[in-house]
């Protein structure tokens, strides 16, 4: 993915989460995703969106942007917001 594509995909998720009233909040790093509620997973996804957009524009942080995107998409899948097919489609070139 290009930095522009990551920015576009993450911006889409950020908008959707904002429309749902999700407040960006980092989960406690001593917890597992399996222990989190859906609300907490959505809040963590929103939190990761902020960093992913910033990192996507910095070549030295591009790998981190990709890892953030992966975590965002996993959170969204865990809560049933998107299927794996949906997420793969989001990542394809337009």
What lies within 8 Å, CB to CB, of 51 at 6+ separation is 64, 65, 68
Kindly report the CA angle at 12 between 28 and 21, in degrees rounded to 5? Answer: 55
Among residues 79, 17, 93, 77, which one has the least CA distance to residue 48? 17
What lies within 8 Å, CB to CB, of 76 at 6+ separation is 13, 42, 45, 82, 87
Average pLDDT over every residue of 40-67: 96
Average pLDDT over every residue of 6-27: 97
The Cα–Cα gap between 66 and 3 comes to 9
The pTM of the full predicted model, rounded to 2 decimals, is: 0.93
Confidence of residue 94 (pLDDT cuts 50, 70, 90): confident
Residue 82: pLDDT over 80: yes
The Cα–Cα gap between 14 and 46 comes to 6
The Cα–Cα gap between 87 and 85 comes to 5
């Amino acid at each position: 993915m290009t930095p522009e594509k990551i920015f576009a995909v993450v911006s889409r998720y950020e908008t959707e989460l904002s429309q749902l009233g999700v407040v960006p909040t980092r989960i406690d790093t001593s917890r597992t995703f399996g222990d989190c509620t859906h609300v907490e997973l959505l809040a963590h996804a929103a939190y990761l969106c902020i960093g992913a957009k910033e990192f996507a524009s910095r070549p030295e942080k591009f790998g981190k942007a990709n890892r953030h995107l992966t975590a965002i998409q996993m959170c969204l899948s865990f809560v049933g917001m998107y299927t794996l097919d949906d997420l793969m489609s989001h990542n394809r070139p337009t």
